[in-house]
Amino acid sequence: MTQQPTTSLGRIAADAAARRPRSEAPPGPVIRVRDMDFHYGAAQALWDIELDVPRGQVMALIGPSGCGKSTFLRTLNRMNDTIEGTRVDGQVLLDGANVNSPDVDVVELRRRVGMVFQRPNPFPMSVYDNVAFGPRLHGKSKKAELDERVERCLKGAALWDEVRDRLKSPALSLSGGQQQRLCIARALANEPEVLLLDEPASALDPNSTAKIEDLIFELRGRYTIVIVTHNMQQAARVSDSTAFFLKGRLIEVGSTRTVFTNPARPETEQYITGRFG
Partner 1 sequence: MGPADYNRKRATVDKAVALLVRLGGIGVVLAVFFIAAFLVMEAAPLAAGPAVASRGVLVEAGRALAAGVEPFAEASWSLRQDGHLQLRDLRDGELIEDRELFRLREDERVAAVRVAADQGSLAIATTAGRLAAAPLGFVVDYGDELERSHRLEGTAPRWLIEEGAGPLSAFDHQVDGPTVWAVAAAADGAVELIRGKLKIDKLSGEERISFRKLVLEPQGEVRDLALLESGAFVAGFADGSVRAWQASRDFKALEERGAGAPGAPILQIRALIGSGSALVARDDGSVERWMLKLQESGHPVLGQAAAMPERLPGLRGVVPSSRQRLFFALGQDEVWIGQATAGEYLARIPLPARVRGLAVAPREDHLLLLAEDGSLELRAIDLGFPAVTAHTLFGKVLYEGAAEPAWTWQSTGGTDAYEPKTSFVPLILGTLKGTFWALLPSIPLALLGALFTARFLRGRAREIVKPAVELLAGIPSVILGFVAALYLAPAIQDRMLSIMLLPIALVLVTVALASVWARLPLRKRRILHEGLAPFVLAGVYFGIAWAVIGAGPWIEQTLFGTSLRMWLPEGLGLPFEQRNAAVVGLAMGFTVTPLIFTLAEDAFRNVPETLAEASQALGATPWQTAVRVIVPPAMPGVVAAVMLGLGRAVGETMIVLMATGNTPITGMNLFQGFRALSANLAVELPEAPHGGSLYRTLFLSALMLFAFTFVINTLAEVVRVRGRKAL
Partner 2 sequence: MSRPAGSARVDYRGSIGSFLCAGAVATVLLAMVLLFTLLLMRGAGAFWPRDLVEWKMADGAVYLVEEIETQADGAIRARLANRELYDLDFKIARPEDILSRSIPADALRLERSENGPFHGYLVSEGEQSWRLRAPDGAEIELPAAEVLRKSYPNQMGLLQRLGAWFAGVARFVTDEPRNANQEGGVWPALVGTSLLVILMSILVVPFGVMAALYLNEYARDTWFVRLVRVAVNNLAGVPSIVYGVFGLGFLVYGVGGALDHAFFSDSLPSPTFGAGGVLWASVTMALLTVPVVVVATEEGLRAVPRERREAALALGATRWEMLRHVILPGARPGILTGTILAVSRAAGEVAPLMLTGVVGFARELPVSGEFPYLHLNERFMHLGFHIYSVGFQAPNVEAAEPLVYATSALLLALVLLLNLTAIRLRARVRRSLAGK
Residues that bind partner 1 (CB under 8 A): 105, 107-108, 137-139
Instruction: Choose the contact partner of 139 out of partner 1, partner 2, none; CB within 5 to 8 A by kind.
Output: partner 1
* Residue 77 or 258 having the CB closest to partner 2: 77
State the pairing for strand pair 249-255/86-94.
unpaired
Helix, strand, coil proportions of the chain in percent (round to 5)?
Answer: 40, 25, 35
Residues 121-180 close enough to bind partner 2 by CB under 8 A: 121-124, 133-134, 137-138
Using CB under 8 A as the binding rule, whether residue 119 contacts partner 2 is answered as yes
- Give Cβ neighbours of residue 165 (< 8 Å, ≥ 6 apart): none
Partner interacting with residue 260 (select from partner 1, partner 2, none; CB below 5-8 Å by kind): none
Candidate list 79, 146, 235, 259; residue touching partner 2; CB under 8 A: 79
For 59-110, the three-class secondary structure string (H helix, E strand, C coil) is EEEECCCCCCHHHHHHHHCCHHHHCCCEEEEEEEEECCEECCCCCCCHHHHH
Task: Closer to partner 1 by CB, 83 or 137: give it.
Answer: 137
Q: Which is nearer to partner 1, 107 or 144 (CB)?
A: 107
Among 77, 258, 261, 268, binds partner 2 (CB under 8 A): 77
Per CB under 8 A, which of residues 179..218 are in contact with partner 2? Answer: 183, 186-187, 190
Classified as helix, coil or strand, 3 is: coil
Which among partner 1, partner 2, none contacts residue 124 (Cβ within 5 to 8 A by kind)? partner 2
CB of 111 to partner 2, least distance (A): 4
For 68, residues 6+ apart whose C-beta sits below 8 A from its C-beta are 38, 45, 46, 245, 247, 248, 249
**Sheet with 113-116: strands ordered across:** 97-98, 86-94, 29-40, 43-54, 249-255, 241-246, 58-62, 224-228, 194-198, 113-116
Number of residues in contact with partner 2 under rule CB under 8 A: 25
Write down the least CB distance from residue 121 to partner 2, Å.
4
Pair 244, 9: CB distance under 8 Å: no
Q: Which residues bind partner 2 (CB under 8 A)?
A: 77, 79, 82, 84, 107-111, 114-115, 117, 119, 121-124, 133-134, 137-138, 183, 186-187, 190
